[in-house]
């Protein structure tokens, strides 16, 4: 009898240890954009990403950076979405996430030397984030109209950024292809 009495106790202890370990395991899920896009675990959310759904999203990034010297809040938001989708088992395919930068956000697409030259030796903190987004399968785009209007030369643009004819046509094209649009 003593061995049966210990068994429920041991089982409950093992269950308690497993429940304590779950949050720790969840936080060690590999982030596709490792240095950006931090998120918080939310216990028992009403809505969460569905791993059986293909997420196709265009992020419209047009606002100026809120805090100079810090990564653009719109790009940080893209990284968070990529990491949250991955955390919940969504397998993104290359091109499922499109980022289109235009207007005041266009300078975000400059190379570090071009940014420093144009903006009083300020560093462009976005280059590494853009690199990690593209490595995760996102397609980062710059509005060609914004590029030309701002006087940026093609060789000043980050090599991880593709230049489209216009953000408005890119967004329209992808919306017609079934992509959701998320604005700044």
Tell me the whole-structure pTM to 2 decimals: 0.83
Q: Which fold has domain 57-183?
A: Hypothetical Protein Ychn; Chain: A, (3.40.1260)
Which tokens belong to 121?
A: 């030796």
Q: What is the pLDDT of residue 7?
A: 56
Positive/negative CA dihedral, 138, 28, 72, 132? negative
Residue 17 confidence (pLDDT) above 50: no
CA neighbor of 60 nearest in space, from 158, 155, 174: 174
Residue 167 confidence (pLDDT) above 60: yes
Burial (CB < 10 A; 0-12, 13-18, 19+), residue 176, is exposed
| Structure confidence at residue 30 as a pLDDT band (50, 70, 90) | confident
Per domain, the residue ranges of the chain are 57-183
The pLDDT tens digits for 67-125 are: 888 999 999 999 999 999 999 999 999 999 999 999 999 999 999 999 999 988 788 99
Q: CA angle at residue 108 from 102 to 111, to 5 degrees?
A: 125
CB 133 within 8 A of CB 33: yes
What does 56-121 look like in DSSP terms, one character per residue?
-EEEEE-SPPSSTTS--HHHHHHHHHHHHHHHTT--PPTTSEEEEE-GGGGGGGB-HHHHHHHTTT
């Amino acid at each position: 009898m003593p061995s049966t009495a210990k068994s429920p106790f041991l089982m409950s202890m093992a269950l308690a240890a497993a429940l304590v370990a779950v949050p720790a395991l969840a936080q060690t899920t590999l982030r596709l954009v490792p240095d950006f896009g931090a998120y918080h675990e939310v216990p028992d959310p009403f809505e969460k990403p569905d791993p059986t759904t293909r997420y196709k999203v265009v992020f419209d990034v047009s606002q100026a950076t809120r805090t100079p010297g810090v990564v653009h809040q719109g790009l940080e938001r893209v990284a968070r979405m990529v990491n949250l989708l991955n955390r919940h088992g969504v397998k993104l395919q290359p091109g499922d996430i499109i980022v289109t930068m235009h207007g005041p956000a266009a300078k975000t697409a400059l190379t570090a030397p071009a940014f420093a030259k144009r903006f009083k030796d300020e560093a462009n903190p976005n280059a590494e984030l853009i690199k990690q987004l593209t490595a995760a399968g996102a397609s980062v785009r710059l509005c060609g109209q914004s590029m030309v209007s701002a006087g940026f030369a093609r060789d000043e643009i980050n090599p991880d950024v593709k230049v489209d004819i216009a953000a408005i046509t890119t967004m329209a094209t992808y919306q017609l292809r079934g992509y959701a649009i998320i604005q700044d």
